[in-house]
Amino acid sequence: MSLRNSWNLGSAYPVSAFILLHFVLRLVVAQFSNLGVDEVYYTLYAEHLDWAYFDHPPMVGWLIWLTTAGGFLDTDLFLRLSALITGSINLFLLYAIGRRLHSDLCGWLAVVFGAASFYTAIISGVFILPDTPLTTGWLAGLYFFVRYNQSHGNKWLLWMGIAIGFAMLSKYIAVFAWGGAGLYWLFKDVKVLKNPFLWGSIGISAVMFLPVFLWNLNSEYSGLNYHADRVGGSIWPSLRHFFPNFFGQIFYNNPVNVVLIVIAIFSLFRSPLWFKNSRFFALLCWGLPLVFITLIMALYNQTLPHWSGPAYYSLLLLAIIYFIEKKPVKWLRKAAVASTVLYMLVIFIGLLQINYAILPLSTTQEPTQLGKTDFTSDLSAWSQAYKTTDENLTPNIPIITAKWFPAAHIQRYVAKENPVYVYGERNDQHHYLVIHQEQPPILAGQDAYYITTSQYYREPPQDLVMQFESMSESQIIPLTRNQIVRNNLFVWQLHKAKANVSMHP
């Protein structure tokens, strides 16, 4: 029995059905969870459209604005709609790339294994993050890169420039796509570097990114120093942040998938095949540099595992091609089943945890610490916050908190008619630097609320309290989901500002 027949695959129809089923599963996850701490922050981008922001380029804000019809369809599901759509597009792109590189079977397996990646399916396929459009631009760029290498048709270079430009409008890390392509051509097809269409393609990406560059160059709200601190840090390496990043990358991309990738890469490096085979070398160039660089960065500063997420697409394709050619049918079938079962198990437990707190992730019931160690807390109880706090907060009285998180959650789920301010340094305020300029200041004689949560508990800063005549005792408001307390809100009332209130210490 052939490998293709044993899987009963061979046309785009079952692939489409599989992707549709995967879309429905992701839709369920989106429906039964609240916006996470980053997602709810990016909704502010859509409310204040610009060419760039303190944290990222603008694409995620544009997508939110588009799927919510400019805020008219302002529900959590419509906010996440672009992630659900691009998540399916990404699977189609994986299928198309796999077919181009090897076979229909390769494309099919890329979809199956890719759909079981938590980065592909959840982080960029449910959550609305900069990675949502980044992954689509990255995969489209990889597809056009493959098409160009196979045909040397210059139109594919131009399309590649557009795709990577789209990715660069999503997240700065997308520039590594051009780096990976350039590395491949430098060693395998150096004459491409003399092709004027290549430089025209790079020019297209540069022109698309130019407004973001100019914004960062001229805006007082630029976060370039913030990003420099994130990638810099200590001059001495440390394992403190390395292992969380290392194991986070393994989990986000599905441990089964990562094991396949590691075995394939080490097997290839034992022979000259990794360099002689152009397909393998191209996929290594698109993936390994970003993985290595993020791991090296983790030795010197706190980094996030999903930063390297796009790199694993090409490495997954490399592993699939390698094992199709080297391993028997049953082995591949078992690997695909294991990857999918692990993904489904984590999603099932995750939804139960979000909705019913079945695992004791909160290690304490101390009111000021509740939910601090439960990473699902942000996804669980916020949708009930407005009903819970409606009778406790007077409309139009300003709300102050100490950091952009939980400020964005408070603004979306609690404040409604109350303007929200963040008291702190620039790196505490992020996009609230801009929002503060658009809102009237808190004037002398005005009252305000100071609100924090048990997950990110911070008492009112003394410098802030001193700007008011008095402060009431805190009121604790529990946030529940299915009658289970997942988080606490702490509300202090600050009485009569002595002068216009400064949001900087």
Q: Dump the DSSP string for 317-357.
A: HHHHHHHHHHS-HHHHHHHHHHHHHHHHHHHHHHHHHHHH-
Nearest CA to 503 out of 442, 445, 448, 419 is that of 442
Q: With the C-alpha atoms ordered 79, 84, 90, 92, is the resulting torsion angle positive or negative?
A: negative
Bond from prior residue into 272 cis (ω within 30 degrees of 0):
no
pLDDT at 5: 44
Q: Label residue 404 exposed, middle or buried (CB < 10 Å: 0-12, 13-18, 19+).
A: buried
Query: What is the rounded CA–CA span in Å between residue 381 and residue 454?
Result: 13
pLDDT at 101: 96
For residue 326, what are the contacts with CB-CB under 8 A and spacing of at least 6?
267
Instruction: Encode pLDDT of 242-297 as tens digits.
Output: 999 999 999 999 999 999 999 999 999 988 877 888 999 999 999 999 999 999 99
pLDDT at 327: 75
Is pTM, for the whole model, over 0.85?
Answer: yes
pLDDT at 4: 45
pLDDT at 222: 83
Residue 152 backbone class (left: φ over 0; alpha: ψ -120 to 50; beta: rest): left
Q: What's the length of the chain?
A: 505
| pLDDT tens across the length of the chain (505 residues) | 344 444 444 466 789 999 999 999 999 999 999 999 999 999 999 999 999 999 999 999 999 999 999 999 999 999 999 999 999 999 999 999 999 999 999 999 999 999 999 999 999 999 999 999 999 999 999 999 999 999 999 999 999 999 999 999 999 999 999 999 999 999 999 999 999 999 999 999 999 999 999 999 998 888 776 776 666 666 778 888 899 999 999 999 999 999 999 999 999 998 887 788 899 999 999 999 999 999 999 998 888 999 999 999 999 999 999 999 887 767 888 999 999 999 999 999 999 999 998 988 888 889 999 988 898 888 888 877 777 776 778 889 999 999 999 999 999 999 878 999 999 998 899 999 999 999 999 999 999 999 999 999 999 999 999 999 999 999 999 988 888 888 999 999 999 999 999 998 7
pLDDT at 236: 77
Pair of tokens at residue 351: 């939804």
Residues of the chain with pLDDT > 90, as a percent, come to 77
